[in-house]
Amino acid sequence: MKRKKWLVAAVVLMGLGALAMTPPAERYFEIAKNLEIFASLFREVNTLYVDEVSPQKMMRTGIDAMLNSLDPYTNYISEDEIEDYRTQNTGQYGGIGALTRQFGNRTVVTMVYEGFPAFKNGLRIGDEILKLDEVELARLTPEEANQLMRGQLGTTIKLTVKRWGEKNPLTLEFRREKIKINHVPYAGLVDGEVGYVQVTEFTQDVGREVRQAIASLKEKGAKSIVLDLRDNPGGLLMEAVNICNIFLPKDKEVVTTKGKIAERNVTYRTLNSPTDVDLPVVVLINRGSASASEIVAGTLQDYDRAVILGERSFGKGLVQEPRPLSYNSQVKITTAKYYTPTGRCIQVLDYAHRREDGSVESIPDSLKKEFKTARGRSVYEGGGIDPDIKRPAKPLSSLAIALYSQGWLFDYATEYAARHSTLVPARQFALTDAEYQDFVGWIKAKPFRHEPAIEAELKALEEEAKHERYYEELKPHVMDLRQKLAESRKHEYTLFKDQIKELLEREIVSRYYFEAGVAEVGFQYDEDVKQAVQLLRTPTEYKKILKL
């Protein structure tokens, strides 16, 4: 399969390489020539290859390989994928308003959205879906199951679910509605005067939603705002402009896009009156903040309008544009780079200049150009958005990751909720030491297994030592390490209690207070939010950072 993949891709790439080196007058000939070569190769392979091949799969492999040689964001979208693509951009689809996830061979409900059919008709977080209508879920791929869950507005669907504590499966019926995914899942006061707004993606109308949230928080007494863009992958560029417009005056430059077609270069400016140009703002970012979220952080930083706190952002300074193709398909093409008001492009990887092995390198610090913000602070291009206050992330332990990814925390939370009909408000909830020990006893009775990364590395060291004939000499040291590791693992649930307890509390609270509760219970652990609040409570320090 790999050979076929690269055979198809190589011929297509011959055309791209030739076009890049060819004068405009010869481009049409090169296009026609290489398309003819590709078509004849495709025909011969399809006819003569020793095994049966799928023309559709082989062509898709060639297309994907060709586009991936440009950058990861130039993508082909087939007719079957169009609906998911539209959902990604609009945040809307026809369905029941529930999220599901697979744990092994189980498909479970991980979130229900308040006000939609799943919530109104009694579907619960923790329910395991057994059937969609009369089709057993085990017989479907995740993609097929997703297609069945969604559908035309007004149509009905029956779910057969297994619920913890219920002896027999339940059958629930839902009428599909227009579902609008809320990408501002939480907006509230962290304390009496600091508002907090979480934005998870830049879909259609998210700018309006953020504006309304901030206006509402101001009415409730907020005198400053924490805007959380952590793990926000971006989305629609215009929504980034709209969010910047909340804090910047009308007709301020937000972002400029520049590509090889000069007449398509555009400068985007704020179009409306702002909500508040003096409201102190801290923007939270991390490695998962990309694209449109970087435009917001970078633009507010350039104008010294907000303090940026967290990790350096992802560094995606490329703009994509969808173009229609035949048979209701599309291609999403990188057409430009974007530049913040200072003129910097934050793109980290240089896809135009790959190494000989095809890998891509980042721009070295020595080549990053310096720019100045409105008040003379230094910022740099080519490395994402560098925060004004750096807070390195604290990685989760392999134990916490395994408990989460394998669904054990999820299952315990489901059982906990079944045993407790009510829960204190999310901000007040915390597992007691006795409850945490109950979980530890519960998990130790389950067939839970995980191997720490250090264990795998120790095995690799042993194998390499044997191969290089050093093992006998190193064996006592390796055995000593193994013994110490075994001793440490006896106390791992105590050692990583803080991480496991936080994840478990988030899971439990979601059963009672949904997305809002998950955000609120996390405030007690979130050091980024704590530092942002402390900064906003200290106006002199805030102004000092921004040189106000």
Q: Residue 279's CB: how many other CB atoms inside 10 A?
A: 19
Q: Which two tokens stand for residue 104?
A: 């092994």
Q: How far is CA 345 from the centre of its chain?
A: 22
Q: Which amino acid is at 174?
A: F
Angle, vertex CA 530, rays to CA 413 and CA 282, nearest 5: 115
Beta strand 281-285 with 224-228 is: parallel
* Residue 511: closest CA among 112, 183, 122: 112
CB neighbour list of residue 476: distance below 8 Å, 6 or more residues apart:
none
Angle, vertex CA 161, rays to CA 159 and CA 162, nearest 5: 175
Q: How far apart are CA 291 and CA 385, in angstroms?
A: 10
CA distances from 20 to 16, 76, 94 (A): 6, 21, 43
CA distances from 163 to 108, 117, 142, 160, 168 (A): 10, 18, 21, 10, 8
Q: Which residue's structure tokens are 């299952």?
A: 411
- Coil, helix or strand at residue 191: coil
CB neighbour list of residue 12: distance below 8 Å, 6 or more residues apart:
34, 38, 62, 63, 65, 66
Backbone angles phi, psi at 43, to 5 degrees: -65, -45
Query: Among 127, 316, 388, 528, which one carries the catalytic annotation?
Result: 316
Active-site annotation holds for 501: no
* Residue 67: closest CA among 341, 331, 400, 462: 331
Q: Residue 193's CB: how many other CB atoms inside 10 A?
A: 15
Sign of CA dihedral 376, 377, 383, 386: negative
Q: How far apart are CA 80 and CA 424, in angstroms?
A: 45
Q: What is the secondary structure of 125-155 as a DSSP string?
A: TTPEEEEETTEEGGGS-HHHHHHHHS-STT-
Query: Among 71, 127, 302, 526, which one carries the catalytic annotation?
Result: 302
Q: How far apart are CA 72 and CA 334, in angstroms?
A: 9
Q: How far apart are CA 145 and CA 14, in angstroms?
A: 39
Active-site annotation holds for 291: yes
Q: How far apart are CA 515 and CA 97, in angstroms?
A: 13
Q: What is the secondary structure of 68-88 as a DSSP string?
A: HTT-TT-EEE-GGGHHHHHHH
**Spatial contact of 506 and 521, defined as CB atoms under 8 Å apart:** yes
Q: How far apart are CA 49 and CA 70, in angstroms?
A: 29
Active-site annotation holds for 127: no
**How close are the terminal C-alpha atoms of the chain, in Å?**
61
The residues annotated as belonging to the active site are 291, 302, 316
